[in-house]
Structure 1
Amino acid sequence: MFLALSYFGADQSQVQRYLTGRSIAQSKLSLLFNAVAKVPMQFFILLVGALVFVFYLFERPPLLFEQAALRQAQGAPGFSGIEARYHRAFDERRAAAGELIEQRRQGRAEAPGIERYRAAQQELDSARRQAGALVAPGFNDTNYIFLTFVTRYLPAGVVGLIIAAIFAAAMSTISAEINSLATVTVIDVYRRHVRPQATDRHYLVVSRLATAFWGAYAVVFAEFGRNLGSLIEAVNMVGSLFYGSLLGVFVLAFFFPRARGTAAFAGMLAGEAAIFACFLFTGISFLWYNVIGCLAAVGVGAAISRR
């Protein structure tokens, strides 16, 4: 919940849309549209993942989803033994899943079926890790699972629509994020601290250069990010390092009208310090960073504003 509040309520890519509305009514409508449209959309995205998971419970997936990596692994010694072990583990897991379904339908004890399923899943995961190690240490092809499902099992027309939708969504998201970064760079940094009295044409040129810089940065980060595993999880993890304290500043402004810039800035720094302390020294799940950062920012900001 805190992550969603941070993204849809406090993120620059969202806030700039509220601020550029022609009226307060339009800004409110934008917020309502986020709630009405994006919550069902997120549910549908997660539902697709769950359905693909269930599909691969009964349909054997490839040992490695990335085809180039699979071809590389097939040429390595010991691959045939790993593949045979993988097939046996999959057959065992499929049988365990079917048995568990029957136990649930008949109201019988599910514990034996669950244990059998978990043992088969562990064997399956072990075989996949061994195959991935033939390609590269720490190999991860999580992001190829859905693409493999699309290209193998869906008709050509549907594949084309999905690819077009992926490109459209990527272009929309990238344009919003890069535009936000360029705007902050020019307005909040360059114009305020470097050239406060320049012409509009000068700022336009600088904004284009900033856009090019952040675009190049995104490409470099994408090359690094492909090794982080699931992209959705990686994006949420990186965002959680900063979103909590950002949300805390907005909450502070809403519920503590006496708070000023100094209190908000101090609260944000305290929130970031708390988040990175949890990140570096604890095993707390990254989703809790948003809660911790928000509470720390509000607490410190409120304490300072009362002085």
Structure 2
Amino acid sequence: MVVYLSGRIIDEKDAKISVFDSGFTRGNGLFETMRAYHGTIFALDQHLDRLYGSAKTLGYPTMPGKTILAEACKNTITANNLSDARLRLTVTNGLPGAQTPTILITAVHYSGYDENLYQTGMSAILLNGFRTSGNITTTLKSTSYLSSVIAKKKAQEAGCHEAVLINEKGSITEGSYTNIFAVTNKAILTPPVEDGLLPGITRDIVINIAVSHGYTVFQQTIQAGDIFDMDELFLTNSLMEVMPLTKLDGEKIGGGRPGETTQQLLLLYGEHMLAMLRGDR
């Protein structure tokens, strides 16, 4: 593997970052996970916009232009001879007093989640104590990722794929590495960002797709006690796209099968992705 590190594409064995880098010493870093289909990075502009907005919020030193970073992402895929890939773009505040951030881009082959999961759906547990409303750090895709790591581990120990996190007000926020949506009475609901969640890129895309195809979408608070009464639940992120969630805390959601709206949105997402890659939109 070769990687991009602060302006150069080099062999992974030669990639070295200082032990004094603030990303290492303080977890002061940001990252974006992206997916490439047939050599083209999907939603690259949206990911970079979020990254640059977060870097500005944190007062990072001078960032390279977006065009430079976009080309670096594309070149990293090409240099690794990849077509379908998972990219991770990591930016840290760099060394103390430095005027430039540390930038690392890695790319590995990726072809998606197990297709069987889209037919059966994922399972999850509910967890308290991992998100709070109005917390600015939750809105940043930060390398300070321990709360999500611990929540995901608890889910795995319970034999589940994901953990759905509840804030201090008893409201649903997001998964440990996903955003969550609910379907009830033919309306699509998803928690608002201020309840304590990351404004996911795929979340935004799914909302726009749903609205453009006539669905009613509300960004509104969902109480944890109401989640079991929903007709459907589904999860989103850049790698899984749209994933049915059919079991929560051991209880079946929607009869334990992927719902009609979820399946339709997965198809529409795929069509949208292909259209974007072709340049039709």
Q: Is the helix fraction higher in 1 or 2?
A: 1
Return the TM-score normalized by structure 1.
0.23
TM-score, normalization by structure 2? 0.25
